[in-house]
DNA sequence: CTGTTAGCGCCTTCAG
DNA sequence: CTGAAGGCGCTAACAG
């Protein structure tokens, strides 16, 4: 009863051989309808759940693809912390979360898998932990690695020769993998063009550490474009910004008092931009009147911030979908050569750059704007409302 | 080079036996430091990735837990479709998504797995497809099933005797599984109390099909509580609401013209509530002036809708976390008896019930309200800003 | 059409 | 401390 039954049990019960049982599942056309039914019935009665491991081992594939990240993927969301109301009515017990950049990638990945009926294994690997990485890789037919991975380079390279690998947010490489990246350069150019041409910005600071390919590209592109307008770009250190809110306030205080405090602050991502805006506000500075702030990524929270964040939007979901699709289509076959795909970015004008928007986004716009919104809602529970 | 190397290759290269290699990985204390290093080096040089399947087969565990849903999990999000601006400035290329109820559950599940360094397999199963279900189960040591599953009852029951199973949004059952549900009754009571006592509602309609344990409970609780106040509850059919927006408009039109059109509409979930509000608005009705609308779940979109949605909030993330944690702690061992856990709900007052809020939620509140928001942001990229 | 059998890659006693 | 060997549950030839 409690014991798990195996293929042998099924064969025994059905009075056939194991080969036949296997055929009944995978090559039903090879056996008689009659015996097939016998087998299926037996399996059902025994509550037979085939072992995925044994299957995989025998057939040489795991039948699953992976999305691994070495850092904080799936992790800390952007909290929305409700304050208890002045009249005491509202006191929400659970904090809501805004999906971030990697969440969107992940979501796209999942959507694609779901639509293709693919199993997906998600794993967050402790950064730099060689063994866990090596371990996990053996569990999937192909894997997408999210930016931030820094295990042994040679290992990654070898992996690319053994199975299909997608490198997300990575520039063109010499690995036999598919690297997918967004067009940071075009996005940055568009951003600076807007700041300069529309808002007459003459000096900007780039905020954020250069610790990923994206951040490098963004910084470099900004420097590059700045030459064209002959404007200055500083890159002030954030110091202990991330240590605590007090530390961030301290850093911000020194920053605003510098005589080269800029007209515009280009943050390396939306999270930083949002927290920077918040801290500025706590210091009594207004945005965009006192300082213009922009971000990168286009996360949902930025559309509901006040002021609405001007940012360089990335097709994060599309990125995730593309990764999954590519992996699935390779069916375990590694790329024989380096591949590269550049996804477009798009400048999204908010209010934090000084533009005025007609109104705050509201759910009114949802339906009014596009019926597909409605269609998407109704899908969820199989039209059962 | 391209061939995947196995344990044998490593043994050969290290000049030891396969058993020793295995020991080097799993029982290093049993072998000499010296030979261990030899093995590890060999493995590294060969870029040896152990087969998860073989490991699992030999050790009898998959080392992963699953989150399965039989329907639309991970699926259609609530789109935010940006309209291109009147001044033509904004034309956002990608639609953003609001996470829904199941997304929050999933997120909690993932967070818990990540924190515990657990691999997680996600799979959306075609509803009622017995085989794919049976297939997928063999890939994990334990599984959480999201509401909406309707495969062979006996199969589920048998599964519960073989591995740990968590049933989400399911009432107490006789299965040897852990069922987790939210307190719909208390939530509904609180909701109706508020509507009656604060807004003097005398008649309400319950909107939504009764096709899940939660929906039944909500409806029943509403009926029950209504007795106490001696008010009437209708349950109008939504007809082809989900078919298209035109159909929904048509349904809504007949509904508003009924002479028993109620003061308040209690929708079975937030999505329905949001789309109902949208459709009402398209028909020229105001909310809450013309009709009060409420939902269930407490999804993020409802906090940014206009008017802000009054709803019965569920601790969805906590539910996901609890499921994952329970599964991990069982380590493949099935529950020997039915278990049940009831999670609390909380009435969240918005504006759609007629209450007035001091202000629209804005990102200002984020920091002002709670420093933990800041802390949560900074975590993301390992403090590297 | 069905049965037989040899692995798949690894782990784990059990000898040595 | 290390090597040898059986077996985990299933698939896929290959016979019959």
When pLDDT is cut at 50, 70 and 90, the band that residue B180 belongs to is very high
What is the arithmetic mean of pLDDT over B80-84? 39
| Cβ contact, residue pair A369, B2, below 8 Å | no
Mean of pLDDT over chain B: 80
Please give the share of chain B, as a percent, with pLDDT higher than 90.
Answer: 28
- Sequence-ordered strand ranges (E) for chain A: 64-69, 78-80, 96-98, 119-124, 142-146, 165-168, 178-182, 203-207, 232-234, 264-267, 292-297, 310-313, 339-343, 346-348
Structural domain range at position B269: 187-313
Q: And the tokens for B117?
A: 């360094």
pLDDT at B204 over 90: yes
Residues A236 and A207: beta-carbon distance below 8 Å = yes
CA pair distance B37, B33, nearest whole angstrom: 6
- Tell me the nt nearest to B3, Cα to C1': C9
CA distances from A137 to A4, A106, A143, A159, A328 (A): 27, 18, 7, 9, 16
When pLDDT is cut at 50, 70 and 90, the band that residue B71 belongs to is low
Q: Residue B349: which of A89, A123, A372 has the nearest Cβ?
A: A89
Q: Tell me what pLDDT residue B383 has.
A: 30
Stated in angstroms, how far is B22 CA from D1 C1'? 14
Residues B380 and B373: beta-carbon distance below 8 Å = no
CA pair distance A162, A333, nearest whole angstrom: 8
B81 contacts in chain A (CB < 8 Å): 365-366, 369-370, 372-373
Q: Residue A208: which of B56, B139, B385 has the nearest Cβ?
A: B385
Considering only B29-43, B122-136, B162-176, which range has the smallest mean pLDDT? B122-136
Residue A375 lies in a domain: no
What is the arithmetic mean of pLDDT over B332-346? 89
| Cβ contact, residue pair B162, A117, below 8 Å | no
When pLDDT is cut at 50, 70 and 90, the band that residue B379 belongs to is very low
CA pair distance A274, A267, nearest whole angstrom: 9
User: Domain holding A225: CATH number?
Assistant: 3.40.50.2300
Concatenated DSSP letters for A148-185? Answer: ---S-HHHHHHHHHHS-EEEET----SSSSEEEEE-HH
CA pair distance A268, B235, nearest whole angstrom: 52
Angle at A85 between CA A84 and CA A89, to 5 degrees: 100
* Spans of chain A below 70 pLDDT: 1-3, 70-97, 127-129, 148-151, 357-385
Stated in angstroms, how far is A322 CA from C2 C1'? 44
pLDDT at B374 over 80: no
Last residue of a domain, one of B291, B313, B335: B313
Residue A11 lies in a domain: yes
Query: Does residue B30 reach within 7 angstroms of strand D, measured from its CB?
Result: yes
pLDDT at B366 over 50: no
Say whether residue B88 is in contact with chain A using an 8 A CB cutoff. Answer: no
Residue B107 lies in a domain: no
Q: Tell me what pLDDT residue B88 has.
A: 30
Q: Tell me what pLDDT residue B107 has.
A: 85
Q: Tell me what pLDDT residue B314 has.
A: 87
For the whole model, what pTM was predicted? 0.84
Q: Tell me what pLDDT residue A116 has.
A: 83
Q: Tell me what pLDDT residue A66 has.
A: 93
Residue A239 lies in a domain: yes
When pLDDT is cut at 50, 70 and 90, the band that residue B3 belongs to is low
List pLDDT tens digits, range B10-47: 888 888 888 888 888 888 788 787 888 888 888 888 88
Residue B323 lies in a domain: no
User: Domain holding A2: CATH number?
Assistant: 1.10.260.40
Residue A108 lies in a domain: no
In 3D space, the residue among B235, B276, B221 whose CA is nearest the CA of residue B253 turns out to be B276
CA distances from A284 to A249, A279, B36 (A): 12, 9, 61
When pLDDT is cut at 50, 70 and 90, the band that residue B214 belongs to is very high
When pLDDT is cut at 50, 70 and 90, the band that residue B372 belongs to is very low
Q: Tell me what pLDDT residue B199 has.
A: 94
Residue B129 lies in a domain: no
Say whether residue A17 is in contact with chain B using an 8 A CB cutoff. Answer: no
Nucleotides of D under 7 A from a protein CB: 1-5, 7-14
| Cβ contact, residue pair A138, B50, below 8 Å | yes
Helix, strand, or coil (residue A305): coil
> Which phi and psi (to 5°) does residue B114 adopt?
-60, -45
What is the arithmetic mean of pLDDT over B118-127? 82
The most confident of the ranges A230-234, B105-109, B211-215, B281-285 is A230-234
Residue B152 lies in a domain: no
Considering only A296-310, B52-66, B230-244, B364-378, which range has the smallest mean pLDDT? B364-378
Total number of domains in chain A: 2
Would residue B297 be called left, alpha or beta, if left means φ above 0 and alpha means ψ between -120 and 50 degrees?
A: left
Distance from CA of A67 to the nearest CA of B (A): 10
> Which phi and psi (to 5°) does residue B182 adopt?
-100, 160
Residue B350: closest C-alpha in chain A: A90
Q: Tell me what pLDDT residue A128 has.
A: 60
Residue predicted with more confidence, B33 or B322 = B322
């Amino acid at each position: 009863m409690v014991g798990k039954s195996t293929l042998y049990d099924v064969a025994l019960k059905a009075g056939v051989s194991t080969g036949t049982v296997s055929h009944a599942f995978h090559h039903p056309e090879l056996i008689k309808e009659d015996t097939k039914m016998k087998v299926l019935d037996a399996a059902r009665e025994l509550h037979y759940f085939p072992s995925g491991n044994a299957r995989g081992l025998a057939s040489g594939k795991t039948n699953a693809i992976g999305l691994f990240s070495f850092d904080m993927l799936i992790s800390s969301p952007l909290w929305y912390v409700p304050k208890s109301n002045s009249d005491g009515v509202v006191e929400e017990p659970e904090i809501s979360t805004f999906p971030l950049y990697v969440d969107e990638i992940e979501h796209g990945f999942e959507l694609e898998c779901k639509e293709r009926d693919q199993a997906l294994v998600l794993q967050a690997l402790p950064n730099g932990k060689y063994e866990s990485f090596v371990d996990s890789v053996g569990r999937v037919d192909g894997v997408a690695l999210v930016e931030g991975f820094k295990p042994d380079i040679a290992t990654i390279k070898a992996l690319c020769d053994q199975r299909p690998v997608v490198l997300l947010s990575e520039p063109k490489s010499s690995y036999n993998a598919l690297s997918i990246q967004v067009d940071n350069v075009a996005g940055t150019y568009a951003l600076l063009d807007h700041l300069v041409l529309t808002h007459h910005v003459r000096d900007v600071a780039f905020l954020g550490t250069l610790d990923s390919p994206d951040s490098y590209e963004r910084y470099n592109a900004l420097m590059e474009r700045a030459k064209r307008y002959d404007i200055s770009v500083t890159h002030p250190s954030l110091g202990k910004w991330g240590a605590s809110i007090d530390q961030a306030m301290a850093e911000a205080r020194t920053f605003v008092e510098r005589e080269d405090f800029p007209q515009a602050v280009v943050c390396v991502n939306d999270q930083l931009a949002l927290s920077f805006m918040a801290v500025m506000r706590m210091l009594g500075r207004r945005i965009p009147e006192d300082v213009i702030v922009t971000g990168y990524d286009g996360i949902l929270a930025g559309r509901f911030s006040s002021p609405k964040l001007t940012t360089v939007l990335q097709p994060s979901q599309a990125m995730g979908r593309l990764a999954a699709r590519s992996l699935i289509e390779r069916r375990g076959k590694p790329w024989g050569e380096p591949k590269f795909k550049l996804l477009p970015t798009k400048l999204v004008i908010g209010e934090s750059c000084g533009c005025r928007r007609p109104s705050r986004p509201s759910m009114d716009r949802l339906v009014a704007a596009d019926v597909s919104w409605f269609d998407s809602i109704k899908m969820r529970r199989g039209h059962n409302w």
